[in-house]
Amino acid sequence: MNIDIREDSLHLLLTRTFHAQRNMIRPRLLEVGLCVGQPKVLHYLYDHGACMQKELAAFCNVEPATMSKMLDTMEKNGLIKRMDVAGNRRAFHIVLTEEGLASLAKWEKICEEADERSLQGFTEEEKGQYRHFLNRMYENITGK
């Protein structure tokens, strides 16, 4: 069987670029006191405010038990806080703390630096087109 694998195929280019950027920024997680997966949780809490653990698990596409372990670590590190839900002893709202907000701001700065490096030499128009194309691709794939 002969398989035609093109080095300029879109999926390979996207995958290679994603991995290169991730490898550039992931080691810097420790600089801001975060672990893999935690920035996504902080982003969600920043954008949506207090929420239930099951919402976070669904958003992050992980099992509730996995999310529980992550939240335990984040709470221990002062990034989030669990608050009782009135009238329900078993339910908690997850909220972002000031320390979590500060870590998110530092992480965002790292990501902005990575974006700047990634888009070095692009015109503002090209940057806009690139974002537009990526959003269209996402919409095509997800239907959202």
Per-residue pLDDT tens over the stretch 41-59: 999 999 999 999 999 999 9
CA of 137: how far to CAs of 119, 121, 126, 128, in Å? 19, 23, 16, 14
pLDDT band with cut points at 50, 70 and 90 for residue 24: very high
* Nearest one of 9, 1, 30, 17 to 106, comparing CA atoms: 30
- Say what the pLDDT of residue 4 is: 67
Mean pLDDT (the chain, rounded): 92
84: Cβ–Cβ under 8 A, 6 or more apart, which residues? 91, 92, 93
- Say what the pLDDT of residue 8 is: 79
Residue whose tokens read 């995958």: 15
Q: Specify whether the CB–CB gap between 82 and 93 falls below 8 A.
A: yes
Look at residue 2 and give its three-state secondary structure: coil
For the 31-142 domain, the top CATH level (class) is mainly alpha
- The dihedral formed by the CA atoms of 76, 81, 84 and 89, expressed in degrees to the nearest 10: -30
* Nearest one of 73, 44, 75 to 57, comparing CA atoms: 44
What's this model's pTM, rounded to 2 decimal places? Answer: 0.82
pLDDT tens for 85-113 read 776 767 789 999 999 999 999 999 999 99
- Say what the pLDDT of residue 2 is: 66
pLDDT band with cut points at 50, 70 and 90 for residue 84: confident
- Say what the pLDDT of residue 85 is: 77
